[in-house]
């Protein structure tokens, strides 16, 4: 008798289907991990910006003005400050639009709230820690909280 060794067509199709299913699950979980990584980068960025602003305040007695008071401007577009070099490298990892109320993806936006305070708005994709997705802010003293006032 002559026995043939090998896989049947059905066995090969089942294996291909299983590999396809596993690949789909891997891609879906990778996209979620990427969003969480971008959110972690955003929170880290705004904390660094806040620290730089607090150091500026300690040296100069007030916070820098980007544009004019209460002007919503991208942090990376701030010019004429001692902080130029520090702030110019801070852009959202995914988008570059200035944050406005209702934004879901936007760049870090700096607003001076009078001579003694500031607010930096940023959007998270999936949330990070106690902050949910959507617009969040960091205010004077490094206080993180949901929402934006502008």
DSSP 8-state symbol, 83: T
The CA R_g of the chain, rounded to the nearest whole Å, is: 24
Per-residue pLDDT tens over the stretch 63-87 = 776 654 445 566 666 655 555 556 6
User: What is residue 66's predicted lDDT score, i.e. its pLDDT?
Assistant: 66
pTM score > 0.95 for this model? no
Mean pLDDT of the chain: 78
- Confidence at 11, pLDDT banded by 50, 70, 90: very high
CA atoms of 149 and 72, how far apart (whole Å): 11
CA angle 102, 93, 82 (to 5 degrees): 95
Residues 6+ apart with CB under 8 A from 62: 115, 116
User: What is residue 100's predicted lDDT score, i.e. its pLDDT?
Assistant: 61
């Amino acid at each position: 008798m002559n026995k043939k060794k090998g896989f049947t067509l059905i066995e090969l199709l089942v294996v291909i289907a299983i590999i396809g299913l596993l690949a789909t699950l891997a891609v879906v979980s990778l996209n979620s991990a990427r969003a969480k990584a971008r959110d972690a980068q955003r929170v880290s960025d705004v904390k660094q910006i806040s620290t730089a602003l607090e150091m500026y305040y300690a040296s100069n007695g007030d916070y820098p003005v980007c544009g004019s008071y209460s002007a919503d401007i991208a942090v990376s577009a701030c010019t004429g400050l001692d902080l130029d070099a520090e702030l110019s490298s801070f852009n959202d990892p995914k988008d570059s639009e200035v944050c406005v109320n209702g934004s879901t993806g936007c760049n870090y936006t700096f607003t001076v709230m009078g001579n003694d305070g500031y607010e930096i708005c940023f959007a998270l994709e999936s949330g990070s820690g106690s902050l949910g997705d959507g617009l969040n802010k960091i205010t004077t003293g490094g206080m993180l909280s949901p929402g934006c006032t502008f």
